[in-house]
Amino acid sequence: MKDKELELLANSARQELVKTLVNAQSGHTAGPLGMADIFTVLYYDCARVDSNNPSWPDRDYIYLSNGHICPIWYVTLAMRGFFPVDELQHLRKINSLLQGHPHNETIPGVENSGGPLGQGISQAAGCAIALKADGKPNRVYALLGDGEMDEGQVWEALMFAAQHKLDNLTIIIDRNNIQIDGPTHSIMNLEPLGDKLRAFGWNVIGIDGHDIGEIKKALGKAGATRGKPTAILAQTVPGKGCSEFENNYEWHGKTPSKEQGDKALAELQEIRTRIEKRWF
């Protein structure tokens, strides 16, 4: 898919996300807005998925390790046709499919249940080694937050994947530099993160997580890498596209009011207009 189309889809996803969070009055804001570009490229340009057959045996597997950013996963799946967009109105409601953390037995397209941080990468590594054992070509993608890399389980999974040369596994780390109680550098400094990942035996690609071309290129390089798993270190802006939310850790788990949502939607529409003028 062309970059201009993907940029517009990511903008639509951000707008739908803001509407969904305002309606729910519950959920996370900063991380989901920051990851809209990556989810868009994954589902519209890179991963092999079939919204009409979510359990298609030849699909690629997408795991979300930092399950709290699931609102952008839900929005992307709905826009991609896995379930009706109207279902987004029920986010975090009692008996809704769309709970505050994903559940893989109730939502079409959701491969793993999420909640406790650090587990998604282990689930993805298990899937990748099982596919290798079966001689299957499917690829596995796992999305992680940088804050959850404080968890020891993440590093155990990194060692496991490198030990078994899981070149069918790509992880995308949302390097937005915030977590629920502050900047990552003041909670648990991760740097030099790229060097640490390389020392653990991973192929590492650093990108601007909002540059559609860079995201596409990195995912292509990951698919072509042999003999080791790939980590895409994506620098992102939490709350991307909405000035009140950007780069503010307090929006990690806070939801906009209607007034704040209206302001954010107006800003996102201005961005959409600039995208259209640039491309058309």
> For residue range 185-235, what is the model confidence (pLDDT) as tens digits?
999 999 999 999 999 999 999 999 999 999 999 999 999 999 999 999 999
Average predicted confidence (pLDDT) for the chain: 95
Residue 278, pLDDT score: 86
Domains for the chain: give ranges and CATH numbers: 35-237 (3.40.50.970)
**Does the pLDDT of residue 280 top 80, yes or no?**
no
| Three-class secondary structure of residue 182 per DSSP | strand
Residue 279, pLDDT score: 75
Give the strand pairing for 230-235 and 203-208.
Answer: parallel
Give the residue-averaged pLDDT of 268-280: 91
Q: How far apart are CA 173 and CA 232, in angstroms?
A: 6
276 φ, ψ to 5°?
-65, -40
The band of 105, judged by pLDDT with boundaries at 50, 70 and 90, is confident
CA distances in angstroms from 115 to 52, 100, 120, listed in the order given: 27, 9, 9
Residue 243, pLDDT score: 95
Q: How far apart are CA 225 and CA 36, in angstroms?
A: 25
Q: How far apart are CA 11 and CA 30, in angstroms?
A: 15
Element (H, E) at 41: helix 36-41
Residue with the two structure tokens 């909405």: 242
Q: How far apart are CA 129 and CA 10, in angstroms?
A: 32
Q: How far apart are CA 236 and CA 144, in angstroms?
A: 12
**Does the pLDDT of residue 107 top 90, yes or no?**
yes
**Does the pLDDT of residue 116 top 90, yes or no?**
no
Q: How far apart are CA 239 and CA 212, in angstroms?
A: 17
Q: Residue 56 gets which letter from DSSP?
A: -
Across the chain, where does the E strand assignment appear?
Answer: 61-64, 140-145, 169-175, 178-179, 182-183, 203-208, 230-235
| Three-class secondary structure of residue 206 per DSSP | strand
Is 275 buried (19+), middle (13-18) or exposed (0-12) by CB count in 10 A?
middle
% residues pLDDT > 70 (the chain): 100
Q: How far apart are CA 58 and CA 50, in angstroms?
A: 9
